[in-house]
Amino acid sequence: MINRSDRHFIRLNFTTIIVTLLLILAGGIVRSTGSGMGCPDWPKCFDRYVPPTTASELPAGYEQKYVAQRVKKNERFAKTLDRLGKGDLAHRIRNDKSILEPETFNAAKTWTEYINRLVGALTGFLLLILAVISFRYRKRATRITVLSVLNVFVVAYQAWLGSIVVSTNLLAWVVTVHMVLALVVIGILVYTYHYASKLDKPKQVIMWRINWLKVLGLITILLSIVQIVLGTEVREAIDAVSKSMTDLHRSTWVSKLGSIFDYHRDMAIAVVVANLIVYKMVRDRFNGRAEPLRMVNLVLLALLIQAGSGLALSYLGLPPVAQAVHILFSTVLFSIQYYLYLLVYNTETYKQINN
């Protein structure tokens, strides 16, 4: 029986997972609509707590002011790169002329970015409250407390890195690290949710041996991570094509992506095959209303949506809606896969002893 205080933590943890996924969706919308510089300053937006809706509400001389702030911020980042031995990269950032071009005001993009920031602030607040509440586990489940506190620092670094993503015009490796850190945040939340919800419950016992299922479950997670990283590189390639070939229609961009798109497509096939094998093994080994059965059905649903949005991107000219859905469900798929893996990993096999 889960006590009342534990139920509060578990519910808040689950809520935080959902809000974090919404933040990833909001980030995907910002990315697909090019709204990253919709608010050129932070934490305010055009020096206002409520963003402007018309150009007449903009502060005087905002273009020069925010370009100067951006240059100053990038210089600090470049100095950090110098200290890390990344002098060439620092030089590229310092000499990127596109940073000096002020962003044209667009009310839709401004409010898209502003809503993204609001969801981000809510996510950070929930993670902070979750970390505080997690101290009730400091003696009987120390890892929950440690991981919950760690997640606050990870998401704070993630927020800073997100600002660098925009400030440096989507610097390639920063985008990839930004996405991987999002998976870390989600992974920690999924783990603490599972650990807290199963803390005082006996492990599930089944008749089948499931060692191979555990191995394949881990492989599907790793494949999904690789696929997400490849997806960020595909997106970076699309950005490069869109900037260098502005005269081409969106429907032709995919054909200009090169081998990275082929790798992403081939990995998608591997992800589908691996998940179908896991689906069959879970269906064969768990009976009745077992939680792994429900999770593997959700994996299949997320996989179908993910594959469908990927096909839409490939053959319908990269529609922004499909881009946002594709990013969201890549993370949803990873989250459910990881939770399923934890369920299977903590399942024991009944061994009949012959006398």
Say which residue the tokens 């690290």 belong to: 177
In terms of domains, do 178 and 209 share one?
A: no
In terms of domains, do 86 and 187 share one?
A: yes
Q: Which tokens hold the place of 273?
A: 């095959």
pTM: 0.87
pLDDT at 352 over 50: no
φ and ψ at 149, to 5 degrees? Answer: -70, -45
How many whole angstroms separate alpha carbon 26 and alpha carbon 278?
31
Interaxial angle between packed helices 142-167 and 172-197, expressed in degrees from 0 to 180 and rounded to the nearest 10: 160
In terms of domains, do 10 and 151 share one?
A: yes
In terms of domains, do 277 and 212 share one?
A: yes
Residue ending a domain, among 201, 226, 244, is 201
Name the least confident of 111-125, 163-177, 184-198, 302-316. Answer: 163-177
CA–chain centroid gap for 294, Å, is 23
**How many independent structural domains does the chain possess?**
2
In terms of domains, do 158 and 222 share one?
A: no
pLDDT at 130 over 80: yes
Q: Average pLDDT of the chain?
A: 84
In the chain, count H helices and then E strands. 10, 2
**Tally of CB atoms within 10 A around 199:** 14
In terms of domains, do 250 and 165 share one?
A: no
Residue ending a domain, among 172, 201, 230, is 201
Cβ contact 179:328 at 8 Å: no
In terms of domains, do 86 and 186 share one?
A: yes
Selected residue with higher pLDDT from 274 and 322: 274
In terms of domains, do 231 and 255 share one?
A: yes
Task: Count Cβ neighbours within 10 Å for each residue of 69-86 and write b for 16 or more, e otherwise.
Answer: ebeebbeebbeebeeeee
**Is the C-alpha dihedral spanning 183, 189, 195, 201 positive or negative?**
negative
In terms of domains, do 164 and 254 share one?
A: no
Confidence of residue 203 (pLDDT cuts 50, 70, 90): confident
In terms of domains, do 167 and 31 share one?
A: yes
pLDDT for res 298: 95
Say which residue the tokens 């839709």 belong to: 108
Residue ending a domain, among 186, 201, 216, is 201
pLDDT tens-digit series, residues 94-122: 877 777 777 778 889 999 989 998 999 99
Range of the structural domain that residue 180 is part of:
1-201
In terms of domains, do 5 and 52 share one?
A: yes
Confidence of residue 286 (pLDDT cuts 50, 70, 90): confident
In terms of domains, do 218 and 191 share one?
A: no
pLDDT at 216 over 70: yes
pLDDT at 16 over 80: yes
Cα separations in angstroms, 88 against 77, 83, 185, 328 = 13, 12, 30, 34
Q: What is the CATH number of the domain that holds 234?
A: 1.20.120
How many whole angstroms separate alpha carbon 328 and alpha carbon 26?
9
